[in-house]
Amino acid sequence: MNYDYLIVGAGLFGSVFAHLMKQQGKRCLVIDKRPHVGGNTYSPCIRGIHRHDYGAHIFHTSDPEVIDFVCQHAHFNRYTNSPIAIHRGKLFNLPFNMNTFHQMWGVKTPAEAQAMLEEQRREARAELQRLGLSQPQNLEQQALLLVGKDIYHTLIKGYTEKQWGCTANTLPPEIIRRLPVRFVFDNNYFNDSFQGIPEGGYNVLTDSLLNGIEVRLSEDFFEGREEWMKVAKKVVFSGPIDRFFDYCFGHLPYRSLRFEHLEVEESNFQGNAVVNYTEADVPYTRIIEHKHFESFGEDVYRLPHTLITKEYPAAWTPGAEPFYPINTPEANACHERYKQLAAQQDRVIFGGRLADYRYYDMAPTIRCALDAARKEAQ
């Protein structure tokens, strides 16, 4: 046993955990089946622009310890996410705020917007009552209660159903609670106190975390699992938990994504980093223009070209990249059974999005790694 920890996965969970254990004087080996570190935050520099190769990653949190931690490893720029939504050629601001309400209904004051929304929310509440429900049971009911039918049908239903590949009335209500609803003219997608993108790309953050730690890339844990299990006293597994247990309780359902990366010979393609296409019949959910994550004002025109990515939702089949866990009650119950098996593995620590089977943003992933490392140090 040459190492104290073999860390499977060089994404945020694995990198943070490895960093903290190295600080404790532990010998760590990190392996990843991909040819790069950083997991889905990987953003290589292509023609002078950092491209978010696995979808837009915008760091945001209000967790003081996480803020403090990441700021020790990277300098964050002032990027604030304020996506635009396009529906039948009309533009709307997101998240749902006074700008959206004005664009939708022409209302100009919070009182007018509240009145409009209340009328539609009343309808949604009446429908729930008719069904004998005290709480919304699915995303559709939740969305109608939050923003009413006009916004639901224009900005949510089409996007959600293509994103998840099923009808909104079969999805859990929590997904739509991620989005704020506010009665001020504020297009900031997040409510968090801290937001930005690491200057120089996410590789600055992960390279700093993994500095001085042995990393082996293009190494698949599952090819040679028995050998890998022998190289360290403990294994930290941040891959899919169902795969670790050979799918003995079946596959946990995921939604996958396909990215179409394009270079465009024009300096400013869409004027914003994120533009959502909310109609069901547009096959992609959004177009990302990467330079806007790191160039502001006149700097946008410094380069005569731009990089864009069209994001297509895709069915997950074994072998495809698992992106979004589909946390239905049945899937969560299945994950619970895997968790019970995991609890019996005294030499393996499980953590991160794929092991926890949770819809984690980056900051909660880091929070989990900080907690896991703290628990280990006890």
Q: In the complex with ligand UDP, which residue's Cβ is closer, 21 or 94?
A: 94
Smallest gap from Cβ 213 to ligand UDP, in A, equals 29
Cα separation, 291 vs 98, whole angstroms = 27
Burial of 259 (0-12, 13-18, 19+ CB in 10 A): middle
Q: In the complex with ligand UDP, which residue's Cβ is closer, 7 or 168?
A: 168
Q: Is 255 an annotated catalytic residue?
A: yes
Smallest gap from Cβ 24 to ligand UDP, in A, equals 33
Q: In the complex with ligand UDP, which residue's Cβ is closer, 175 or 287?
A: 175
What is the SS3 assignment for 6?
strand
Annotated active-site residue in 54, 360, 361, 367: 361
Smallest gap from Cβ 236 to ligand UDP, in A, equals 25
Q: Is 125 an annotated catalytic residue?
A: no
Phi, psi of 93 (to 5 degrees): -85, 150
Q: Is 337 an annotated catalytic residue?
A: no
Annotated active-site residue in 122, 178, 258, 374: 178
> In the structure encoding, which two tokens stand for residue 55, read together?
């979808």
Annotated active-site residue in 51, 286, 353, 367: 286
Contacting residues for 363 by C-beta, under 8 A, at least 6 apart: 59, 60, 61, 63, 66, 192
Q: Is 301 an annotated catalytic residue?
A: no
Strand partners, 257: 313
What is the SS3 assignment for 311?
strand
Q: Which residue type does 367 have?
A: R
Q: Where are the beta strands (DSSP E) in 16-111?
A: 28-31, 45-46, 49-50, 59-61, 84-87, 90-93
Smallest gap from Cβ 180 to ligand UDP, in A, equals 10
Annotated active-site residue in 125, 182, 337, 358: 182
Q: In the complex with ligand UDP, which residue's Cβ is closer, 156 or 209?
A: 156
Cα separation, 287 vs 273, whole angstroms = 8
Q: In the complex with ligand UDP, which residue's Cβ is closer, 69 or 360?
A: 360
Annotated active-site residue in 51, 255, 353, 367: 255
Q: Which residues bind ligand UDP (CB under 6 A)?
A: 85, 94, 155-156, 159-160, 163, 175-176, 178-179, 276, 278
Q: Is 286 an annotated catalytic residue?
A: yes
The DSSP-derived string for 176-218 is HHTS-B-SSS---S---SEEE-BTT-HHHHHHHHTTTSEEE-S
Smallest gap from Cβ 34 to ligand UDP, in A, equals 20
Catalytic residues, by residue number, are 178, 182, 255, 286, 311, 359, 361
